[in-house]
Amino acid sequence: MEQCADLTRINTYIREVIKLLKLKVMKKFLPIFILAVCSYSATGQTTFQILDHNGTDVTNGQYDFSGPNSPSDPYFKYEIDFEVKNLKSVTITTKVKRMETMSLVGSAHYHCWGVCYTDINAGADYMFPESGDPEFLDFVDLNGSAQSTLNTYFKPKSAVGDASFRWVVFDDSNPSDSAFVDVVYDIRAFTGVNENDNVKMALYPNPADQLAVLDFSGSTYSNSDMIIEICDMLGKKHKSYSASVAQGKLNIDTEELTDGIYFVSIRNGREVIKTTRLVIKH
């Protein structure tokens, strides 16, 4: 009986030691465990998705735009729209702010998110709206799995150069829960369609299906190095080629271009030498 009692006391002692060891282990690794859980929550938390006009996911990415300026029409503007989607199943009070990361002097911009704002001149306000601005109270309630359109506008006026903006969408109750898209503009000097007669340009077949041929073999343009670009009606650049007058012809693969109207431009630096229209029909 005494031996059994001793064994019982030993077992009890061992269990207490195990409890203490477990407690120490938990105390040692609990902060690491909590940090891991928090890190997982932070990286796994995704409320917003941003899509461009083609339905391409540009969340936390970049959207490039190229087009001529408008020296004779200060009211001319480029519109780039994005669909902001709520990936959660609950309603989110959503706000948008704009950061001007590169200013193009002489241009202007504005946007619409529930409310449309007035023009802001380049360089006048780095962040809009921000806390303290009356416009910061504006919001759009996005229901679960719903989406709403963010309209962004850029007025190049007579300016030539680069401009860039970061558009940030965020949860009003948790501003760190956000997503962004960077929009980069490449604004060139407008010379008009078919204005430079020194460049001879033919494009065939037109409409095109799988392939289009750009023929500039009869060009008398003195610069041998040119850039040839294909842009859609919104000014988005889809293809870019380096070419020279000595080449004479360029084959353009049009298979992956969707049906519609495009513009094929020959550029020398930022100057548009000549532009012609290309119709894609599959």
Q: Residue-wise pLDDT tens for the chain (282 aa)?
A: 444 444 455 555 556 545 554 544 444 444 444 444 443 334 446 799 999 988 999 999 999 998 888 887 788 888 899 999 999 999 999 999 999 999 999 999 999 999 999 999 999 999 999 999 999 999 999 999 999 999 999 999 999 999 999 999 999 999 999 999 999 999 988 765 545 556 677 899 999 999 999 987 666 665 556 788 898 877 778 898 887 766 778 899 999 999 988 888 887 766 677 778 899 999
63 contacts 25 by C-beta, under 8 angstroms: no
Residue 195: inside a domain: no
Separation CA 228–CA 23 (nearest Å): 70
User: Domain containing 215 — which CATH number?
Assistant: 2.60.40.3080
Q: How many domains does the chain have?
A: 3
* 11 and 97 assigned to the same domain: no
Task: Provide the pLDDT for residue 174.
Answer: 94
Separation CA 84–CA 79 (nearest Å): 16
* 172 and 61 assigned to the same domain: yes
Residue 53: inside a domain: yes
Residue 194: inside a domain: no
* 39 and 52 assigned to the same domain: no
Which H or E run includes 184?
A: strand 174-188
Separation CA 254–CA 248 (nearest Å): 19
* 172 and 260 assigned to the same domain: no
Burial of 125 (0-12, 13-18, 19+ CB in 10 A): middle
Four-point Cα dihedral 127, 236, 157, 125, nearest 10:
0
Range of the domain at 7: 1-44
Which H or E run includes 261?
A: strand 260-268
Residue 70: inside a domain: yes
Residue 228: inside a domain: yes
Instruction: For residue 127, give both structure tokens.
Output: 């962040």
Task: Provide the pLDDT for residue 276.
Answer: 83
* 32 and 143 assigned to the same domain: no
* 165 and 264 assigned to the same domain: no
* 250 and 141 assigned to the same domain: no
Q: In the block, which residue shows the tokens 């030691």?
A: 17
* 33 and 116 assigned to the same domain: no
* 180 and 210 assigned to the same domain: no
58 contacts 69 by C-beta, under 8 angstroms: no
Task: Provide the pLDDT for residue 84.
Answer: 98
Residue 193: inside a domain: no
* 222 and 172 assigned to the same domain: no
- Reduced to 3 states (helix: H, G, I; strand: E, B; else coil), residue 274 is strand
- Reduced to 3 states (helix: H, G, I; strand: E, B; else coil), residue 231 is strand
48 contacts 59 by C-beta, under 8 angstroms: yes
User: Domain containing 67 — which CATH number?
Assistant: 2.60.40.2310
pTM listed for this prediction? 0.63
Task: Provide the pLDDT for residue 44.
Answer: 47
* 86 and 6 assigned to the same domain: no
* 18 and 70 assigned to the same domain: no
Residue 227: inside a domain: yes
Residue 124: inside a domain: yes
Task: Provide the pLDDT for residue 270.
Answer: 63
